[in-house]
A and B are shown apart, each in its own frame.
Chain A
């Protein structure tokens, strides 16, 4: 447990500290937006959630490449946890975005906006990852097919992002650009700290779940080797290698 969870405490402390600083900056340092007013405070939560979620999907795809290259199922488990976490963050981004849309535009959703719709498509695409995975019984095939899916779907994320950026019609404001964006300094600092906090939270939860899964696998293996127990609980809906 200690071996798997190495660095977890430091990561938790760094995450808590960064999130506290980010919240302080959001509510006590960043000025009110001239157009949006107080409602713009959701920006510091919604955008980092969406960005970390999309990066998490890509991260899951990269880890899946590790599995396809090495056939080591530990990489598959890492990829599974990364996608699982990214989905949770994605749902958070979607809900907070809807709340912001309701306050800002007067309705929960706008189908004509490519940013919203494409994010939903990516989220739904990755939502099919788990049903696909657990519809296959053979663990080896399950891991292989899931990895191939993760790689292909992850490649779709940057393509989708570029397509949306090229779109002419959009409701979403373009705040972050390669040219540095048009956020004033104090808002940009607040946003960057919020983004860092969210990325650290993702890393912490990913490591936490990996530690828990590894501990469970070790207990199962110990049980098998020490007691020769065949009645060890089946893996069920788990990506963990036996």
Chain B
């Protein structure tokens, strides 16, 4: 069975749609791929680079599960063509931390139980990462506002907000409460 990625990267049936070579820095590593222009960034990450931490949920720019950072800014990767990331830096959840050294945001989500099923979590964490880079001391309202493009169907958001506030305190060098 061919995966979506194989199907979409297979050479076009005629010369009208050339495959393009792109070089994208993904989690600090330069990755090169020959892709069809219609390949979405989310699909390049998941099927092409096997970075399946980026989830695709609604596929219609609503849910934010596919959120990644492009040059540090949060982007819904199901709504960006992979060719548009050529020459840019992409950070996925795999680039946040390692199992032995979690990012404060990841640590916050564990400490505060910021997830149940976990589907929205990668997108939530990357949107949070972008928020904390811009505003190291967000209020609860700031967190809710910044995450308003990311949907969670389990938690009711309470613990997600707590997790981000925990991470903010940790990043500021304070003892998270």
Task: Tell me if chain B binds chain A.
Answer: no
Write the residues of chain A forming the contact surface with B, with a CB cutoff of 8 angstroms.
none
Write the residues of chain B forming the contact surface with A, with a CB cutoff of 8 angstroms.
none
